[in-house]
Homo-oligomer: A and B are copies of this chain.
Amino acid sequence: MSMSETLELVSENRSFGGWHKRYRHYSRALDCDMIFAVYLPPQAEEGRVPLLWWLSGLTCNDENFMQKAGAQRLAAELGVAIVCPDTSPRGTAVPGEHGSYDLGSGAGFYVNATQTPWKTHYRMYDYLVEELPSVVRLRLPVNGRESISGHSMGGHGALILALRHPGRFRSVSAFSPMVNPMECPWGKKAFTHYLGDDVSSWRQYDACELVANGASRQRLFIDQGESDQFLEEQLKPERLEQVCQEHDHPLTLRRQPGYDHSYFFVASFIEDHLRYHAEHLYK
């Protein structure tokens, strides 16, 4: 077993008849130790179960979703495991890593950085496409059926991973995702630092661009709060709506009146998403 497949159990908590566990492992892609969390439903004690990936947003780590979304109840009922990766490399001592909440630590944006000083560690795309899935499939009782979801920056991550890998995820959903990071302040800042000034290299990480130019026709299921404080400047779901309409890409976009960007919003609708994914995972 190679180093990257060695898992150290950080903590475990019994939860809804299953287990919430946190593991530490060395990531080759990121060249640092990483922690991820998994919820294993009770069914995982009898055999292998399908898996939902959850990608979190800016400033989060593996803990936010597991503590705040209330997903374990449904995952236990439906027999679905959930893995929550961290949102960036950690403790890499890259200059500027801790300078702002929307760049560096806690803000990996699920891309492979090509620019100095980020390119040596900030390779979350590779980490999530190749390395962590290999570890999870090898070491956890999962059966290879996978879906993906996420929130905000993590919604962006879920959409681009699904759009770039048709057939890999049985279903994809997102809460309040950055659908067009090339054209919003958060995305422009991060992509400039991680990918440089050549915007043609940004398109592979932009859901609107991937819908316009991609091979996937997988339905995108999105919940967006109408009172989200980031709606107009950063999230702009109408852009995805328009490009999906132009390119005949299936989209279910629900606007939820009164809801904001917080996990109170995610928790309110996580049941719909988990039931949606379970339908596809058990089909």
Question: Are B67's CB and A263's CB within 8 A?
Answer: yes
A16 beta carbon closer than 8 Å to chain B: yes
A16 lies within 8 A of B73 (CB): no
Task: Please report the C-alpha to C-alpha distance between residue A67 and residue B225 in the assembled complex, in whole angstroms.
Answer: 18
Within 8 Å of chain B (Cβ to Cβ): is A258? yes
- Of A144-152, A195-203, A264-272, which binds chain B? A264-272
Q: B residues within 8 A CB of A267?
A: 15-16, 70, 72-73
A239 to chain B, nearest CB (A): 24
* Chain B residue nearest to A68 in the complex (CB): B67
A13 x B260 contact (CB < 8 A):
yes
Q: Is the CB of A14 within 8 A of B268?
A: yes
Task: Label chain A's interface by main secondary structure.
Answer: mixed
Supposing A20-B264, A264-B20 touch, asked if A225 and B14 sit within 8 A by C-beta, the answer is: yes
Cα–Cα distance between A265 and B13 once the two chains are bound (Å): 8
* Residue of chain B at shortest CB distance from A69: B70
A64-83 vs B, CB cutoff 8 Å, 1 = contact: the mask equals 00011010110000000000
Residues of B within 8 A of A259 (CB): 13-14
Interface string of A2-32 (1 = CB under 8 A from B): 0000000000011111001000000000000
Option from B20, B262, B268 in Cβ contact (under 8 Å) with A16: B268
Q: Is A227 among interface residues, defined by CB-CB distance under 8 A?
A: yes
CA distance A177 to B15 in the complex (A): 19
Give A18's nearest chain B residue, CB to CB: B268
In the docked arrangement, what's the CA distance between A231 and B239, Å? 54
Distance, CA A60 to CA B67, complexed state (A): 15
Q: Complex: how many Å from CA A16 to CA B272? A: 12
Q: Within the assembled complex, what's the spacing in Å between the Cα atoms of A203 and B256?
A: 51
Bound-state CA distance A162–B227 (Å) is 40
Interface residues of A in 209-266 (CB under 8 A from B): 225, 227, 256, 258-260, 262-265
A264 and B69 alpha carbons, distance in the complex (Å) = 12
Contact of A14 among B73, B260, B263 (CB under 8 A): B260
The residue on B at minimum CB distance from A20 is: B264
